[in-house]
Structure 1
C-alpha cells in the first residue's frame, strides 16, 4: 500500500497513455523526468511547484536539484506499481517547468542497479547491508533508505568458481534511448554478449569482460 495514495496503482502503459506526460519515461525506479537548468537558482525555481503538485496529486516524489538539471522521480516504494496520482503530478510538474524555461531532456533519464552474484551456500546480503548502510528489501534485495545509491539484487548462480564473482550492472534507460546507448557502448570497444531479450534488454561486455545489461524495460513494457 502506498502511504500517500492508498492501494490504487496503475501500470506503465496507463501512465504513458495519460495526457501531459510526454517529458517522462519509466525506469526501474518508476516514472522520471530530467529538466535542464542554467544555474542553481534556475533549478530551485521548480522546487515549490513540485511540492505543490505532489500535495495535490498525493504522491511522494524524489527531487534531485543540481545547477545543471532537476531530476524528478515518482518511486515505486514497495514494488507494487505506479501510484495512481503520478500522471497528474507529472503533467503539472512539466507545465511548471515549461513556464520557467526548464527544458525536458528524456535522453538523460536513467536508473542503475547492481546485480551481485551469490555462490551456493553464501549469504552476501548482510555484508552489503552493513558496508553500504542499506536496508533489506524483499527476500534478497538491498536498498539505500534515501534512494541515492543503486539498488542491489543478490542473484544465486550455479557453476561456482572459487575467488570469482559475476556481479554486473543493469542500466535502465528510456525505451527510445536503449539502442542509442547500446551502440555507444559497442563503439567504445564493448561486445554484444546476448541480444536475445531485445528490446527489453541487451547484455554487453566491456573489453575485459565485465557485464552490463542495458534495458529499455520497463518503459517498453505494455
Structure 2
C-alpha cells in the first residue's frame, strides 16, 4: 500500500493541480456533460485501480473522486484519464462535511451515537459512515459545560485556496466572524442568531 504522506508534500508534487487535501481525504471533482461521460471516467478509474481507499461519487453533471491515502501517482493517473476524455477539474467544488458534537466525556457517549447511526469508530472521538456517503460525527472535547452555547456545529473542510472566498461569502450573507485564532486551520463563524460553523483547511495540520 502507498505510504501516507503529508498534505504539504502532496500539494508540492507535480501534476496534482486537480486535487485538494481535506483533512484525511484528498479529492478531485471532474465536470461532465452527461451521465454517460461520467460512467466513462469511472470505468477508466476502475481500470487504473481497485484500491479500497478510492471512492467515486457519480452524478449526471460530475464525478467526485476521493482518495483516503494521499497517493500522488494515482492522482496523476486519474487526472490524465480525465484529460484524455476532455473532462475539466473544478477544485473549488470539493469539500468535506463533519458534524461536531461538543462533549465532556466523548468515549462514554460515542457508543450511543455509533448504535443509532450504524457508523464505525475511528479512535475514541470520531465516527464514520462505513459506506462513506454521509458526514462523519466528530466529538470535540469540552473542559466544562457550556449551557449558553450550541453543542452541535458543522465543520466544512474546503480547499485551502478557497477558504477566504467561502468566508467572505458567509460574511456577506449576514454572518460574522467569531474567531480566527486558529486560522488557517479553521475559522469559526456564526449566523445572525449565533449558530456556529467552522471553515477548515489542511494547512497547519501536517
Normalising by structure 1, report the TM-score.
0.84
Shift of residue 93, structure 1, vs aligned partner: 0.8
Q: Residue 116 of structure 2 aligns with which residue?
A: 131
User: What corresponds to 2:66 in structure 1?
Assistant: 73
Alignment-derived partner of residue 104 in structure 1: 89
Cα distance in 2 between the residues matched to 1:50 and 1:209: 43
Provide the residue aligned with 1:45 in structure 2.
Answer: 40
Unaligned runs of 5+ in 2: none
Relative to 1, partners in 2 of residues 1:121 and 1:42: Cα closer, same or farther, differing over 3 Å?
closer
- RMSD between superposed Cα atoms in Å: 2.2
Which position in structure 1 is the counterpart of 2:30?
35
Q: Per-residue deviation at 1:219?
A: 4.9
Consecutive unaligned residues in structure 1, runs of 5 or more: 77-81
* Contact 2:107/2:124 (<8 A) preserved: no
Write out aligned runs for 1:195-210 (5 A): 195-210=180-195
Separation in structure 2 between the aligned mates of residue 122 and residue 49 of structure 1, nearest angstrom: 42
User: Out of 189, 194, 197, which is 2:174 matched to?
Assistant: 189
Q: Report the 3-state secondary structure (helix = DSSP H, G, I; strand = E; otherwise coil) of the residue aligned with 1:123.
A: helix
Correspondence list, 1:1-222, <5 A = 5=1, 8-55=3-50, 60-76=53-69, 82=70, 86-119=71-104, 123-161=108-146, 165-216=150-201, 218-219=202-203
Task: Determine if contact 2:110/2:124 at 8 Å carries over to the other structure.
Answer: no
CA distance in structure 2 between the partners assigned to 1:112 and 1:194 by the alignment: 20
Per-residue displacement from partner, 1:29-62 (whole Å, max 9, x unpaired)?
A: 421100001111111110122122225xx66311
Alignment: residue pair count: 206
Evaluate the alpha carbon distance shift between residue 12 and residue 128 of structure 1 in structure 2; reply closer, same or farther with a 3 A threshold. Answer: same
CA offsets, 1:157-178, max 9 Å, x none?
2332569751111101111100
Which secondary structure does the structure 2 equivalent of 1:52 belong to?
A: helix
* Distance in 1 between residues matched to 2:6 and 2:52, nearest whole Å: 15
Contact conserved, 2:106 with 2:140, CA < 8 A, in 1? no
Report if the CA contact (8 A) 1:27-1:219 is conserved.
no
Question: 1:156, 1:211 → 2: CA distance?
Answer: 16
Distance verdict in 2 for CA 1:219–1:131, change over 3 Å: same
- DSSP-derived class of the 2:83 partner: helix
